[in-house]
Amino acid sequence: MLLRGSHVFAEAAVRAGCRFYFGYPITPQNELTEYMANALASLPDGVFIQAESELAAINMVIGVSMAGKRAMTSSSSPGISLKQEGISFLSAMELPAVIINTMRGGPGLGNIAAAQGDYLQATRGGGHGDYRTIVLAPGSGQEMADFTRMAFEYADRYRIPVIILGDGMMSQMMEPVEFPDPIDPKSLPPKPWVLDGAKDRPSRIIKSLILDTSAMEEHNWKLFRKYEMIEKEISQVELFLTDDARLVVIAYGTASRITKGAIKRVREMGLKVGLMSPKTLWPFPKRFLLEMSRVVTDFLVFEMSTGQMLEDVKLSLEGRRRIHFYGRPGGIISTPDEIAKVINNIYFKEGLETEG
Amino acid sequence: MKKVFGKPKSLKDAVFHYCPGCGHSIIHRLVAEIIDELNIEEKVIGVPPAGCAVLAYDYFDIDIGESPHGRGAAVATGLKRALPDRIVFTYQGDGDIAAIGTAETIHAANRGENITVIFVNNGVYGMTGGQMAPTTIIGQISTTTPGGRNEKRDGAPIDLSEMLALTDGTVYIERTAVDTPKNIIRTKKAIKKAFRVQMAGLGFSLVEVLSPCPTNLKLSPVQANEWIGSTMTNYFPLKVIKDKVGKLGASPHLE
């Protein structure tokens, strides 16, 4: 199917068995909300509510998730800030949910162009308290479809909110996509912790208030152990022409697409350059990077921000290798030529053409 | 010997943490009695607020999902839409529902969400230690209105129930109190009717209950109850604010 990015997210969510969507209008992701309005209206078990606010939308997700059903909300940067209260509560109460952030320029209202300025917000929890959320970063229409399916599965498996980071460019871009077969929500395994009335079982409580400090500490460590397990199990990268690379560019989402174009150009000139594209931003695929740093001396982080993922690359490599950075914030989309020039400069400045 | 009075099944064997003279214990008991009488303990889900009543899950022996401060109506919307044949109620204080949660409440009401709201109005923020509430009356002293609530500076007490009655989606709204035995009986009747409205699928129902907070009013329990009757009801008169049930037709649940 040939679909624009926003519609890919929405169609993939419906096919993942999501029958509950709550949203509030914000550009550049209104097409996602509108698609859900249509798709869920045509399903007998579909529920779509245009919420009065982002806060209301994420709290409706909390309610549905307590009832054990798959639920999603989506927004763009300023709206995601408003949802952080609910994301913190979802994390505390260990409730599954999928939240799509179509990032735009910021801070503040910023603009409606594609940007990657919400990386730190997404990967560091984003709201108050000691928690993380899984953060997925698709780089193509196909990955938008696949990662949306995966997001619902991770959310249920780990009882955690999952954020998908897209941007204003990916949401508008049309690409051919093959969708996985639809899941009938009734076929999903029952969840043993849901609230549906205490029939033939003891009553249940889903809460986040833990006044006893020892119990709260234990809850924090329990979450931490879960996060450790997730780090081991789901870190994922895409590698592109890295086998013989002397310089590896690290970029995600739209920036990784631009980088592929740049690499094709510099490869034509004989430069040995590859791309490592993190597909999970949290957990950050540290071990893939460490492994690569055994043979690669130079890394270039390219982001559509002033340098946010850069922090994770530095933390992962702990000073072992040279890390270069190029970023354009504010909704500026670099061209492959621009990135090819940056690569070219670094490559020759560091003498990489003479190594090996 | 025939047992004529006992603990409702829907209450756990737990000692209330509420202050002496607090109205929450009475209202909890009424809600539990109603759940028993309507035989819905296996299909009811409660949504407590942030505030003194957040600990409701320690007392009610039913499924409970805690809501972030003020978002009860949105959480209940999600629960009820996901499980339309269950009975979903929120239990919210005045700060929760009429200040931080105003938007969620008004819009859930306007959508006619088929949920029941128990709105406990004691005119003060209890759990945080007696600050001005949206329903604090003019001249009432609180920790943030040391000289008394001043209409020019602080605004007048807000009548959320009357505001909600203006929305089309609300079916039944009544204001009662738990200051006297007679009013307690009326409160029970009102809350029971509110649950029945939901069971009949008619739409949004709410009972606002004026409730004493002796600790933060700095009054004895008896004085706090007297204050409700002599002063608070001047701003919040006890009455049926809206009742569309008759117009919506008879239902077996409402007999």
What is the average pLDDT value for chain A, to the nearest integer?
97
Q: Touching check for A209 and chain B: CB below 8 Å?
A: yes
CB A261, CB A240: distance < 8 Å = no
Query: A with B: how many residue pairs have Cβ under 8 Å apart?
Result: 131
Measured CA to CA in angstroms, residue A257 lies from A87, A120, A139, A327 at distances of 29, 21, 7, 15
pLDDT at B5: 87
**Cβ-based burial of A87 (10 A; exposed 0-12, middle 13-18, buried ≥19):** buried
The span from the CA of A303 to the CA of B148, in Å, is: 55
Q: Touching check for A150 and chain B: CB below 8 Å?
A: no
The span from the CA of B76 to the CA of A335, in Å, is: 48
> To which residue do tokens 């490592």 refer?
A276
Partner residue facing B44 (CB), from A65, A197, A207: A197
pLDDT at A355: 58
Name beta bridge partners: A114: A104
CB B106, CB B82: distance < 8 Å = no
Query: Inter-chain contact B77–A198, Cβ cutoff 8 Å?
Result: no
| Structure tokens, A19 | 């029958």
Query: Inter-chain contact A49–B66, Cβ cutoff 8 Å?
Result: no
Cis peptide before A107 (omega within 30 of 0): yes
Render pLDDT for A259-315 as a digit per residue (tens, 0 to 9): 999 999 999 999 999 999 999 999 999 999 999 999 999 999 999 999 999 999 999
What is the dihedral sign for C-alpha A325, A330, A335, A337? negative
| Crossing angle (nearest 10°) for helices A54-66 and B102-110 | 70
Q: State percent of chain A over pLDDT 70.
A: 99
Mutation site for B-interface testing, chosen from A47, A54, A55 by largest number of B Cβ within 10 Å: A55
Query: Inter-chain contact B86–A196, Cβ cutoff 8 Å?
Result: yes
Query: Inter-chain contact B76–A64, Cβ cutoff 8 Å?
Result: no
pLDDT class for A354, splitting at 50, 70, 90? confident
CB B8, CB B33: distance < 8 Å = yes
Render pLDDT for B17-51 as a digit per residue (tens, 0 to 9): 999 999 999 999 999 999 999 999 999 999 999 99
Nearest CA in chain A to B76: A63
Partner residue facing B65 (CB), from A53, A69, A195: A195
Q: Identify residue B105 by its one-letter amino acid code.
A: T
Domains of chain A: 2-197+221-233 (3.40.50.970), 238-349 (3.40.50.920)
Q: A200 — phi, psi (to 5°)?
A: 55, 35
Q: In residues, how long is chain B? A: 255
CA distance A99 to chain B (A): 16
Q: Touching check for B60 and chain A: CB below 8 Å?
A: yes
Partner residue facing B78 (CB), from A61, A203, A209: A61
Mutation site for A-interface testing, chosen from B81, B96, B106 by largest number of A Cβ within 10 Å: B81
Q: Identify residue A275 by its one-letter amino acid code.
A: L
pLDDT at A186: 96
Query: Inter-chain contact B81–A60, Cβ cutoff 8 Å?
Result: yes
pLDDT at A356: 53
The span from the CA of B254 to the CA of B196, in Å, is: 6
Largest CA distance in chain B: 61
Render pLDDT for A19-49 as a digit per residue (tens, 0 to 9): 999 999 999 999 999 999 999 999 999 999 9
Question: Who contacts A165 (Cβ-Cβ below 8 Å, separation ≥6)?
Answer: A101, A103, A116, A118, A119, A122, A135, A136, A137, A252, A253, A281
Interface of A with B in 39-58 (CB under 8 A): 47, 49, 51-53, 55-57
Render pLDDT for A75-104 as a digit per residue (tens, 0 to 9): 999 999 999 999 999 999 999 999 999 999
Query: Inter-chain contact A198–B62, Cβ cutoff 8 Å?
Result: yes
Query: Inter-chain contact B64–A207, Cβ cutoff 8 Å?
Result: yes
Gyration radius (Cα) of chain B, Å: 17
Q: Touching check for B64 and chain A: CB below 8 Å?
A: yes
The span from the CA of A220 to the CA of A301, in Å, is: 32
List CB contacts (< 8 A) between B75 and chain A. 59-60, 62-63, 66
CB B31, CB B91: distance < 8 Å = yes
List CB contacts (< 8 A) between B104 and chain A. 52-53, 55-56, 59
Which regions of chain B are under pLDDT 70? 248-255
> How many other CB atoms are there within 10 angstroms of residue A174's CB atom?
12
Q: A138 in helix, strand or coil?
A: coil
pLDDT class for A63, splitting at 50, 70, 90? very high
> To which residue do tokens 């949290």 refer?
A282
Q: Rounded to 5 degrees, what angle do the CA atoms A328, A351, A275 make?
A: 45
Mutation site for A-interface testing, chosen from B69, B83, B86 by largest number of A Cβ within 10 Å: B83
- For A136-158, what is the mean pLDDT? 98
DSSP B144: T
Query: Inter-chain contact A196–B66, Cβ cutoff 8 Å?
Result: no
- ipTM score: 0.96
pLDDT at B251: 59
Note the Cα A146 to chain centre separation in Å.
12
Query: Inter-chain contact A205–B61, Cβ cutoff 8 Å?
Result: no
Measured CA to CA in angstroms, residue B16 lies from B48, B187, B208 at distances of 15, 20, 21
DSSP-derived pairing of the beta strands B170-177 and B239-243: antiparallel
Domains of chain B: 24-244 (3.40.50.970)
Q: Touching check for B104 and chain A: CB below 8 Å?
A: yes
> To which residue do tokens 């941007």 refer?
A167
CB A91, CB A161: distance < 8 Å = yes
